[in-house]
Structures are given as C-alpha cells and as structure tokens.
Amino acid sequence: MDISVNTIILAVGPDDQDRVERLASVALQLAHPNDARVILTHVFGSEEFERLTDELNFSNATAEDIDNLLARHDTLNRLETMLAGEGVSCSRKGIVENISEGIISVAEEMDADRVIISGRAHSPVGKAVFGSTAQSVLIGASCPVTYVRSTASD
C-alpha cells in the first residue's frame, strides 16, 4: 500500500479565519516530510458567491472570475504566506458548487493524497437538521481526510 503524500487539498471555509495557525500547522506536518504541494481550496456556495461579488462591486462576475476573488481572500493569503514561508509549494483552487461536493471533486480532479478540513462541533440534532460538510467529505472523499476541530477559543 502506497502511503506517500504528494498533493494535499487544504479546504478553507468562510469561518476559518480564526483557525489559520492550526490549519497551517497540520498542513506543514503532512507536507514537510513528504515534500508535498498544498492546494488551498475554497468552494463558494452560490449564495456566498453572489453576496461576495455584490460586496466587491463585481456584480457581473462569473465562475470564470474566481481567481480574482481568491486573490482577495484574506484567509487564503495568510495561509499561503505561512506555508510558503516554510518552503511549502502552494497553489489556489476555487469553484462555485455545493461545498462538500466541491471539496470532493477538487480532491479527485487534483488526484489528492490527503484532504484537510475543519469545522465546528454540532449537536446530534444540529447534524441531523443541517447536515455536516465535514461528515460528507469524510464519507465521500476517495483519499484520507484529516479533520481539524474547532477549539473553545476558535
């Protein structure tokens, strides 16, 4: 069984600004020993995409303009600076899709060896009612998934 890690998808969500250091730390633990590349990935849900393009006066934006939005994404910028500063090769990938399906499709498209995701704790009722992006990725990804859980201070 091949356990090498060459490509890591680091899925960055809209609530990850307070978890940047923890996400970078986990990515570095996986990337450094393997000399792996990290693809910083943000999946825009359609509502988030529309809201963000309106806020940025980019109202005619389409999914093809996503690189312009990613360039303005503070959390991605911070992560890229931290990882590149440690010598890790980084790139960015963004799409507009259902979030969990988007993470899974990017992982498959990039032939990822690992996915890193984060999230906050939900009560059992909250999971049943709202579902869980992380749970869907854990179940649906074709490679191992590392889950970075929120702490009480996040």
In a domain, 1, yes or no: no
- Around Cβ 27, how many Cβ atoms within 10 Å? 26
Task: Please determine, for residue 130, whether its predicted confidence score (pLDDT) is greater than 80.
Answer: no
pLDDT given at position 125: 58
Number of domains making up the chain: 1
**pLDDT tens column, 71-128:** 888 999 999 999 999 999 999 999 999 999 999 999 999 999 999 999 876 566 555 5
Residue 2 lies in a domain: no
Q: Is residue 54 part of a domain?
A: yes
What is the model's pLDDT at position 108?
A: 97
Cα separation, 39 vs 107, in Å, equals: 9
Beta strand pairing call for 7-11 and 90-96: unpaired
Asked which of 2-6, 121-125, 149-153 is least confident by mean pLDDT, the reply is 121-125
Is residue 128, in this structure, part of any structural domain at all?
Answer: yes
**Sequence-distant (≥ 6) Cβ neighbours of residue 149 within 8 angstroms:** 118, 119, 120, 121
Q: Residue 5: its pLDDT value, please? A: 92
pTM listed for this prediction: 0.88
Q: Could you read off the pLDDT of 12-64 as tens digits, one per residue?
A: 988 888 899 999 999 999 999 999 999 999 998 888 888 888 887 877 777 77
pLDDT at 6: 95
Q: Is residue 113 part of a domain?
A: yes
- The end-to-end CA distance of the chain, in Å, is 36
Q: How many CB atoms lie within 10 A of CB 128?
A: 10
Q: For position 128, what pLDDT does the model report?
A: 52
Q: Which one, of 30, 37, 42, lies nearest residue 144 by Cα?
A: 30
Q: Is residue 97 part of a domain?
A: yes
Count CB neighbours of 112 within 10 A: 26
CATH number, domain with residue 19:
3.40.50.620
**The domain containing residue 11 runs over which residues?**
7-149
